[in-house]
Amino acid sequence: MSVKGKTAVVTGSNSGIGLGVARELAKAGANVVLNSFTDRDEDHAIAAEIAKEFGVEARYIQADMSKADQCRALIENAGQCDILVNNAGIQHVEPIDTFPTEKWDAIIAINLTSAFHTIAAALPKMRAAGWGRVLNIASAHGLTASPYKSAYVAAKHGIVGMTKTVALETAEEPITCNAVCPGYVLTPLVEAQIPDTMEKYNMSREDVIKKVMLERQPSREFATVEQLGGTVNFLCSDAAKQITGTTISVDGGWTAL
């Protein structure tokens, strides 16, 4: 079984990890539904470019992952949903005693609760089709913690727990549910932070990457969005048929420490 002809819905996928995963799925022959909270011409253009490049169907559907009804509407509007990749996420860094309540609520809603709603809406479609794959993009912070990231760490630990629960609920069906846990990934957002960090610490690009950004990543190399997409493709394959309810770390050894 390959992903060719399957439909993948990837939340938070007009840039970064989500876009990288969507592109790798399209490259393998899956039709893709891209998503974010914006509804710009360039969002729809990204989908059109993917369709042209890989010869698949690709659409962009606007939906705000902080809103329960829009999460479920995304799945309904997608029509078919054989592969669900819950990737949407935001971050805020601050000590817990001053952490803004509205930031906590937004991070929990987008990073965790949205996946509850999309999974709940997608499972009936997967059952009707007789096949399904749920991939939750968690984080190394779903398995370990860092200071000042209380909401993010809580949400990502929650995603890992929900992954296990969904896997148990679908264990006797041709549906799997797994979490992919990246460490630091080279995305346009991360790339844009490098020059400012070089200036702040008066360091070379190489030193900023190895000594500041990747201090906790033993490989001292970023993971790439293509590697994450490849991991998702593997988890959709027959070789991964008995892999369910687990975490796959793509973190350069971070969680081995």
Q: Which residues are catalytic?
A: 152
Q: Which residues are CB-contacts of 52 (< 8 A; sequence separation ≥ 6)?
A: none
Which run of H or of E encompasses 134? strand 132-137
Lookup: tokens for 178:
């797994």
DSSP one-letter code for 239: G
Which run of H or of E encompasses 62? strand 58-62
Say how far apart CA 143 and CA 250 lie, in whole Å.
Answer: 12
How far is CA 107 from each of CA 84, 88, 102, 144, 153, rounded to the nearest angstrom? 20, 10, 9, 18, 10
Say how far apart CA 250 and CA 257 lie, in whole Å.
Answer: 14
How far is CA 173 from each of CA 133, 191, 238, 243, rounded to the nearest angstrom? 11, 41, 14, 13
- Closest by Cα among 6, 3, 17, 13 to 227: 17
DSSP one-letter code for 101: H
